[in-house]
Structure 1
Amino acid sequence: MDTLLPEPAAVPSHSPRTWLRQIHSGGQIFETCPAWCTDNHRSDDSGFLDDLSHGAHFNGPELPVSDAEHGSLPMPVFAGRINVDPYSEDPRRSVPHIHLEPFQDEVMECLDPREFAAVIAQVRAHCDRLDEVHAQLVKARAEYR
């Protein structure tokens, strides 16, 4: 029996871009972006080898967070970036990894697929718990009246 599998989620793919890069210590090298890289690399035409990174940002939902001075402000949560630093000596950075911002200005760096899956599982479990709390709130409000 054939099982129909869902189509994989569409991931934007860009044609790999190649450019000539001047190396600060002398010489030059042709750089090529991975197909998934969405960085513009406008200022990456020269520099140190390890200054280069490739990446693709992903947005997170914005939640209205209370602010004493401004009332409520939108705060992005769980935004981040798929990233690779191809010339890094750190093996965690020299392969594609996730930089995740659980909330603005706080970063979980260099998550590999296993670590990122663990974060997703924790968040999913917490959302299940929030569903339970929501049901408790609905019940509490009904009893309160």
Structure 2
Amino acid sequence: MSIVSPERPIVAESGKVRTWLRRIWSGGQIVESCPSWCTDGHHNDGDGMLVDLSHGRDYGGTLLPVFDAKEGTIEMPVLDARISVDPYSDSPERRLPHVVLQPWEDEVMECLDPAAFAAVIAQIRAHCDRLDDVHAALVAARRETASL
């Protein structure tokens, strides 16, 4: 493991611990280390306040074609997920790895622990089961309409 200077970019390599020297605005410096799962680049984390540091990994969402009055149909991400940890946060739940879920653009569910995230997944899965029922009803309605 080598320490990189803040002037050199830190290349995100999943599974490898990365470290760098970080200058703290209130004075002093600290050697920071990424957790093995962190894929953030940390290109702007060579100096700053301690609480500004966050480690994370984005898992993305699925893109759905959504109607937009100005643009027509545009691809919008839904269920965008990120594992994150804020090691210097005042909030104990942020100092542990947690999920930040963006159900749709500009809306966020923060600090989901494993149990809370599992509950959200169960709700979404149950809703998808109900959507299967809607799909079956649509097929039946179209079949009925075609026979008229």
State TM-score, norm by structure 2: 0.88
Q: CA deviation at 1:80?
A: 2.2
CA RMSD of aligned residues (A): 1.0
Structure 1 segment 1-145 matched on structure 2, within 5 A: 13-145=14-146
Counterpart AA for 2:113: D
- 1:87-126 Cα deviation digits (max 9, x unpaired): 0110110100011000011000010000000000000000
Give the match's secondary structure for 2:96.
Answer: coil
Correspondence for 2:8: none
Q: Distance in 2 between matches of 1:106 and 1:115?
A: 17
Q: CA deviation at 1:13?
A: 3.5
Q: Distance in 2 between matches of 1:136 and 1:71?
A: 28
Q: Distance in 2 between matches of 1:107 and 1:54?
A: 18
Count of aligned pairs between the two proteins: 134
Q: Distance in 2 between matches of 1:57 and 1:133?
A: 32
Q: Distance in 1 between matches of 2:68 and 2:90?
A: 41
- 1:121-142 Cα deviation digits (max 9, x unpaired): 0000000000011000000000
- Show structure 2 runs of 5+ residues with no match: 1-12
Q: Distance in 2 between matches of 1:41 and 1:32?
A: 11
- 1:20-75 Cα deviation digits (max 9, x unpaired): 11111111110000000000001101111111000001111100001112210101
Percent identity (aligned):
62
State TM-score, norm by structure 1: 0.90
Q: Distance in 2 between matches of 1:41 and 1:67?
A: 34
Counterpart AA for 1:74: E
